[in-house]
Amino acid sequence: MNKASAVAPQDTADKPVTGPFTGNEAIARGVWEAGVKVAAAYPGTPSTEIMENVAKYPAEDLHAQWSTNEKTALDTAIGGSFAGVRSFAAMKHVGMNVASDALMSFSYIGVNAGLVVLVCDDPGIHSSQNEQDTRVFAGFAQVPVIEPSDGQEALDFTKYAFDLSEKFETPVIVRATTRLSHTRSEVKVGARVEPDDKGFDENPSKNVMVPMNARRQHPVVLKRTDDIAVELAEGPLTQVEIRGGKLGGKVGVITMAMSYVYVKEVMGDVSVLKLAGSYPLSESHIRKFTDQFERIIVVEELEPVVENALKIMGIAVEGKSLFPRIGEFSPEIVREGFVKAGLLEEKKHKGAFDLAPMARPPVLCSGCPHTSCYMALRALDARVAGDIGCYTLAVAQPLEAIDTCVSMGSSIANAVGMAKAGTETKPIIATIGDSTFLHSGIPPLIDAVYNNANITVFLLDNHITAMTGGQEHPGTGITLRGEKTAKVDYTQLIKALGVEWVETVDSYDMASMYQSLREAVEFKGVSVVISDRPCVLDPVKIKGQAFTVDQEKCVACQSCMNLGCPALTWSEGWYEGRHKVEIDPQSCMGCSICAQICPTDSIAL
Amino acid sequence: MAEKKNGPTNVLIVGVGGQGVIMVSKVLAMLCQNHGYEVKQSEVHGMAKRGGGVFSHVRFGSSVWSPTIPVGEADVLVALEWAEALRWINYMNPQTGTFIADTQKIVPPFACRVRDRGADAMYSEETPAEIMENVRAGYAMDATSIAEDLGNLKAANTVLLGALSNSLEFSVDAWLEVIRSFVPPKSIDINMEAFAKGREWAQAGPKRVDENAKGRGVSGRDLHKQVETKLEITEEWCKGCDICVKMCPERCLRLNDQLISELHKPDACTGCRMCEWLCPDFAIKITNTPIMEPAE
C-alpha cells in the first residue's frame, strides 16, 4: 500500500504551489515527493540550498541532516538504502571526489531501497576550484546519470531517478549545474508518495564487498548498465524532436541538460535528440536517430562525454570542434558554434559601448573575523597554506596572505609536507576554517602530531559554514533543522589528538592574537591557535556603531587600507600625495580592527 | 515597450552584493508569473555575496528557453550601482533597450590599491551624461539620495522599480501589490512613495540625467605627483626591534643578517613616514623632495 503524506508546508489547501522555484527548490521538492526518508549533504555552492529546502518539509516525513563531509553524507544515505527506505545525498561536483570511494563500491553492491546522489557541477567556475564534469564520474563508477534542463525537469527527473534506482538496483546520479540550480521558474508539483519500507536486506554476499563478492558483482554491473541504457532511451525522459524545414534530413542535434535550452533558443527548427542523460547510452537507439541525418552535431557543456561515446560506436559526429570544452555555455556561445558549423548567419553581438569595466573581485566582509588573522600572518611573514572557505579571499590584494590552496582540508597536510621538505626558512602556518576542519582537517592534524611536524595550525572558528551562506555544523551545536545537539569542543578535541600547544584567541584583539601567533610559531612541534569570533553575516548579521576617521589626524599611510575592508575607502583629502581614508557608516559594523592598527590614532568611534 | 519582438522580454538587473539585486528580480519574476507569463529568473550567487558583482536575468513571455539573456538583447538594464551598469551595458539591445541606473558609486577596496603618488581610485571614468548620449532611452538617477530623502536608503531599489515600471506593461497597482508582499511591513509606506518617485522621475522623457548626482566616490586633484623619496637608516642606532618591519604598510623593510633594518623593496616605498615616526631609536629618516613644481 502506498501512503500519501500530509501536504508540504508550501502547499495550501488543494491547490499545488507552482513556484517560482529555483532548480534546487525543485530538486528538494522531488526528493520529498519521491518519499525519501533519509537525506544528507555537506554544503557546497551551487548545491547548498537543496538540503536547506529538503529540511523545510516535515520532520515526520523525512530525516534531513548536514554531514561533516560528502562521504559521510553518501554513506549515511547508503545506510538508509540498506535499511530499506529511499535515501538521498546532495553535493557539489568536487564533493563527489570526496564521496567517490563509497560510490565506487556501492555501485557494485547496488541498492536495496532507491538511492539518488545529486551532484551540482559548476561550469564556468563561478564558485569552485575547478570545473570537473560529473558525467565522467558516472561512467567511471558505472552509475547512470540523468540531467534535467529546467526547474520542472529538476523535480520530475529527481522523482524518476528513484524508480530507476529501484528497478535496476543501482545508485543513480542526478546532475545539475549552477545555472539550473540558481534559475527560478514555474514548477508544477505533486503529492508525496511513500513506498512501503523494505526493511533491512539480510544478504551479506551482496552487501559485504569482499573480493569474492565483488568479482561476482562486476559482470552484474556491466549487464545492468546495458539494460539501463535501453530503459533510458525508451523511457519518458528521452525526447526525439524531428523537424522538417531546410535542415530536415540534413542535420540532427544530440544534446541534454542546459545545453538543450540553448539549442532551442538559437536553433528553433532543428531536429533534436534530447538525452535523458549522458551515461549509459544505447547504441541501437542512438543510431535510430543518427541514421536519419547527414550531419550529427553534439552540443554538451564541458567534457565531450557523449561525443566520445558516439565516436567509439563509430558514428561520425561533430562536437568540440564547434563548441568549447571550457566554461559555461550561453546562447551566444551555442550560437557561435552553429555559425562555425555553417548553419546560422553570423550575428554581431558587440554592443555600442567600448568600455573597460572596473574590477570588483569579491572581498572579505566589513568586520570579517578572518581579516585581522591574515593581517597578523602578513606581519609574521609566514608561509601560509590556505584552505577552502571565505578566507581563501585573503590571497587577493591588498592582504596577499595565502600561498597555497588545493582542496577541502588540504592545508594542514600541505604544511606538514612543506615542513618535512626542510627548505623553508619562514614559519609554516596552515589556516583552516571550522567547517573545513571538521570536513577533512582532523586526519591531517593527527598526521602532523604523529610525525612531529614543526607547523602551526591556525583554526579560524567563525562558528558557521560561511562561504556557502551560513550553514550549521557539528561545531555550532545546532542541527540542519535548528535543534540543539552536541557541540564539538575544539580545544579538547585537538588536545586529545596529542597537540601540546593550543591557545584560543579573539581575532578582534589584534595585539594578543599576534602575540599568541608569535609564541605558537616559536614552539617546536605542532601548535594550534584557535581564533574564536563569529561570522558577521551568519547566523545573525552583526552591526555595531560605525567608526570614523579624523581627517585632520590621518596621514594617509594606508595601513588600514591593507585590510581590504569594504567599509574603508579613499576620501577627498590628500596627505603628501596619497588619499586619506574615510569609513562608510552603512557598511562599517564596528569591529575596531582598523582603529587598532592605525599608527596615528585617527580612527575612533 | 517601444517595439516588441516575438521572443521573450528581457530585463537584466545588476548591482553589488548586498544591494538587493535578487530581491528586485524576485519582485519582477513574481509580477510576470502573476500575469500568466512563463518566467525564468537566473542568478549566480556564492562568491558574489562578498562585495562582488551580482547579476540576475529575468526573461518572460509565452515561452522562454534560455534562462540567460543573449548579449545585446536586454530590453531593459536596471543597475543598482554605476560601475555595474557600465559592466553590463553591452547586454542591452542597442536599438530598443532602455538603460536605468542608480548613479551611486560603491568604490571597492580593490580600486584603491595603487599607492603611487597622486594615484586616484580606479573607478570607471564614464559619467552619466556621456553614457546617456549614446543610449536610445535611459535614466541615470540618484535613486539612493531619493530614497535617503524619504528616510530609508534601502528603498533605492524600489525607486528604480518605479522607473522600470514605465518600460513594462504592468499596471501600477499590480506592481505595488507585489512590492508590498516583499518588503517588511513597517517600510511599506516608504516603498510605495519610493516607487511613485521613481516612476514620476522617469516620466520626464526618454532620457534624463540627474545633474546633482552625488554618489559616494573619489575624485580630486593632487599636487604632489612628482616627489623623490629617500629612506635612510642609521645602522648604529638600530637595535633590530622589528617595529618598522611589522608596521610598514607596504612591507618594504626587513631585518638583514645582522638584524638591522633595511629597505629591500625601494620601489614599493611610498614615503609615508610610518617607520620614521614609529622607530623608538630615531634610526630612520625619510626625505620627500619635490622634483618638479606642483602643476598650476
Cell 541615470 found at? B140
> In Å, how far is A514's CA from the nearest CA of chain B?
11
* Cell numbers linked to A323: 563548441
Tell me what the pLDDT averaged over chain A comes to.
93
**Alpha carbon distance B49, A76 (integer Å):** 31
Q: Which residues contact B218 (CB under 8 A, 6 or more apart)?
A: A569, A570, A571, A572, A579, B107, B112, B120, B121, B123
> In Å, how far is B240's CA from the nearest CA of chain A?
15
Residue B60 belongs to some domain of the structure? yes
Residue B244 belongs to some domain of the structure? yes
Residue B198 and residue B67 in one domain: yes
Residue A562 or residue A115, greater confidence:
A115
Instruction: For residue A497, name the pLDDT band (cuts at 50, 70, 90).
Output: very high
Q: Which of A546-550, A585-589, B112-116 has the lowest mean pLDDT?
A: B112-116
- By three-state DSSP, how is residue B161 classified? helix
Count CA within 13 A, CB hemisphere, residue B156: 24
Closest CB to A572: pick one of B45, B220, B272: B220
Q: Which of A283-297, A497-511, B240-254 has the lowest mean pLDDT?
A: B240-254
Bridge partners of B12?
B57, B77
Residue B184 and residue B41 in one domain: yes
Interface contact A184, partner B, CB < 8 A: yes
Q: What percent of chain B has pLDDT over 70?
A: 89
pLDDT at A578: 85
Residue B162 and residue B269 in one domain: no
Q: Which stretch of DSSP H or E encloses residue B158?
A: helix B156-165
pLDDT at B112: 87
Domains plus CATH for chain A?
Answer: 3-234 (3.40.50.970), 239-340 (3.40.50.920), 369-532 (3.40.50.970), 548-604 (3.30.70.20)
Q: End of a domain among B175, B209, B243?
A: B209
The answer to whether residue B263 scores a pLDDT higher than 80 is: yes
- By three-state DSSP, how is residue A156 classified? helix
Residue B1 belongs to some domain of the structure? no
**Alpha carbon distance A82, A524 (integer Å):** 48
Residue B129 and residue B258 in one domain: no
**Total of domains in chain B:** 2
Residue B19 and residue B166 in one domain: yes
What value does the mean pLDDT take over residues A415-425?
96
* Neighbour tally for A512: CB within 10 Å: 12
Note whether B68 contacts A361, CB cutoff 8 Å: no
In A200-310, which ranges are E strands? Answer: 239-241, 251-255, 271-274, 295-299
DSSP A5-54: PPPPTT-BTTB-----EEHHHHHHHHHHHTT--EEEE---TTTHHHHHHH
Residue B222 belongs to some domain of the structure? no
Query: Do A66 and A41 contact (CB within 8 A), yes or no?
Result: yes
Which CATH number covers residue B266? 3.30.70.20
Residue B143 and residue B199 in one domain: yes
Instruction: For residue A8, name the pLDDT band (cuts at 50, 70, 90).
Output: very low
Query: Do B102 and B82 contact (CB within 8 A), yes or no?
Result: yes
> In Å, how far is B199's CA from the nearest CA of chain A?
26
**Alpha carbon distance A412, A406 (integer Å):** 11
Backbone angles phi, psi at A384, to 5 degrees: -110, 120
pLDDT tens digits, A546-575:
999 999 999 988 999 999 999 999 988 888
> In Å, how far is A517's CA from the nearest CA of chain B?
14
Residue B78 and residue B126 in one domain: yes
Residue B71 and residue B195 in one domain: yes
pLDDT tens digits, A306-355:
999 999 999 999 999 999 999 999 999 999 999 999 999 987 756 678 88
pLDDT at A12: 40
The answer to whether residue B222 scores a pLDDT higher than 70 is: no
DSSP B65-91: --SSPPTT-BSEEEESSHHHHHHHGGG
Residue B158 and residue B243 in one domain: no
pLDDT at B5: 56
pLDDT tens digits, A212-248:
999 999 999 999 999 999 999 999 999 999 998 888 8
Q: What percent of chain A has pLDDT over 90?
A: 85
Closest CB to B118: pick one of A349, A365, A577: A577
What value does the mean pLDDT take over residues A261-278?
95
CB interface of A with B, residues 331-390, below 8 Å: 331-332, 335, 348-353, 355, 357-365, 378-379, 390
A571 vs B contacts (CB less than 8 Å): 218
A363 vs B contacts (CB less than 8 Å): 50-52, 108-110
Note whether A559 contacts B277, CB cutoff 8 Å: no
Residue B245 belongs to some domain of the structure? yes
Residue B162 and residue B94 in one domain: yes
pLDDT tens digits, B163-195:
999 999 999 999 999 999 999 999 999 999 999
Instruction: For residue A5, name the pLDDT band (cuts at 50, 70, 90).
Output: very low
* Cell numbers linked to B238: 638600530
Interface contact A564, partner B, CB < 8 A: yes
**Alpha carbon distance B138, A141 (integer Å):** 54
Residue B123 and residue B171 in one domain: yes
Note whether B89 contacts A379, CB cutoff 8 Å: no
Residue B75 belongs to some domain of the structure? yes
Pairing mode of beta strands A239-241, A183-185: unpaired
What value does the mean pLDDT take over residues B264-283?
88
Which CATH number covers residue B98? 3.40.920.10
Task: Say which amino acid occupies B142.
Answer: D
The answer to whether residue A138 scores a pLDDT higher than 90 is: yes
Residue B45 belongs to some domain of the structure? yes
For chain A, how far is it from start to end, CA to CA, in angstroms?
68
The answer to whether residue A1 scores a pLDDT higher than 50 is: no
**Alpha carbon distance A129, B13 (integer Å):** 27
Residue B186 belongs to some domain of the structure? yes
**Alpha carbon distance A444, A237 (integer Å):** 44
What's the CA dihedral at A308, A309, A315, A318 to 10 degrees?
-40
The answer to whether residue B295 scores a pLDDT higher than 90 is: no
CA–CA distances in Å: residue A19 to residues A152, A186, B6, B33: 10, 5, 25, 9
- Which residues constitute the domain of residue B86? 9-209
Residue of A nearest to B48 (CA): A362
Residue B190 and residue B259 in one domain: no
Q: End of a domain among B174, B209, B244?
A: B209
Q: Which of A166-175, A450-459, A517-526, B46-55 has the lowest mean pLDDT?
A: B46-55
